[in-house]
């Protein structure tokens, strides 16, 4: 068990698709285990050449570093267990959680140009989304909401207008027909 709460959180398995959703879920898991700062910033090397701080012994500093290294190993283990066997070789040689996280981010997050094209495609899909003949209004709204959530993962700015459209459309479903 990772936390002291007594229940283990199941990690999503990343197989090479939907990286942004996987990343968001993993960030939440790391935050819930108080490991996100370590994954994001990495282990700071101890300054072994510096004199020990006032009031702390060398054993205290070594003990603190051992705890940090144990937490890093725990975070690395979570990442390793959250990728498929196909993805694992890409991070197999990573010696810290930050290195593994950054390798996956670099390969699957995509540069600004890639993200911009993906966002443009999603916006186009949203603008031309039409309700199919065999689709319920609820199903259509679910599909629009999924597009909105995908767009939010690629946007650096919030997209409140899209959410307002969805709220408006869901209100139409409740109007009396007549």
| Domain assignments of the chain as residue spans, ordered by start | 19-108, 112-172
Instruction: Kindly report the pTM of this predicted structure.
Output: 0.61
pLDDT for the residue 121 = 85
Which one is predicted more confidently, 73 or 115? Answer: 73
Which one is predicted more confidently, 161 or 24? Answer: 24
Q: What is the pLDDT of residues 31-74, one digit of tens each?
A: 999 999 999 999 876 543 344 455 556 667 778 888 999 999 99
In this model, does residue 178 exceed pLDDT 80?
no
In this model, does residue 117 exceed pLDDT 70?
yes
Round to whole Å and give the CA distance between 42 and 39. Answer: 5
What is the DSSP annotation of 122-162? Answer: HHHHHHT----TT--HHHHHHHHHHHHHHHHHH-SS--HHH
Torsion over CA of 155, 161, 164 and 169, rounded to 10 degrees?
A: -90
Which one is predicted more confidently, 20 or 51? Answer: 20
Q: What is the pLDDT of residues 121-149, one digit of tens each?
A: 888 888 888 888 998 888 888 888 888 87
Structure tokens at 17: 């698709």
Average pLDDT over residues 79-89: 94
């Amino acid at each position: 068990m990772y936390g002291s709460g007594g229940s283990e959180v199941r990690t999503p398995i990343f197989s090479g698709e939907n990286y942004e959703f996987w990343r968001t879920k993993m960030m939440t898991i790391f935050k819930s285990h108080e490991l996100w700062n370590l994954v994001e910033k990495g282990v700071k090397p101890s300054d072994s050449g510096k004199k020990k701080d006032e009031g702390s012994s060398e054993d205290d500093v070594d003990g603190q570093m051992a705890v940090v290294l144990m937490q890093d190993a725990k975070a690395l283990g979570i990442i390793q267990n959250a990728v498929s066997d196909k993805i694992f070789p890409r991070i197999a040689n990573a010696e810290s959680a930050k290195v593994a996280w950054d390798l996956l981010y670099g390969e699957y997050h995509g540069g600004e140009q890639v993200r911009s094209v993906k966002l443009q495609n999603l916006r186009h899909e949203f603008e031309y989304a039409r309700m199919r003949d065999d689709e319920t209004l609820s199903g259509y709204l679910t599909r629009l909401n999924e597009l909105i959530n995908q767009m939010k993962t690629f946007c650096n700015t919030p997209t409140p207008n899209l959410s307002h459209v969805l709220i408006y459309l869901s209100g139409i479903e409740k109007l009396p027909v007549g």
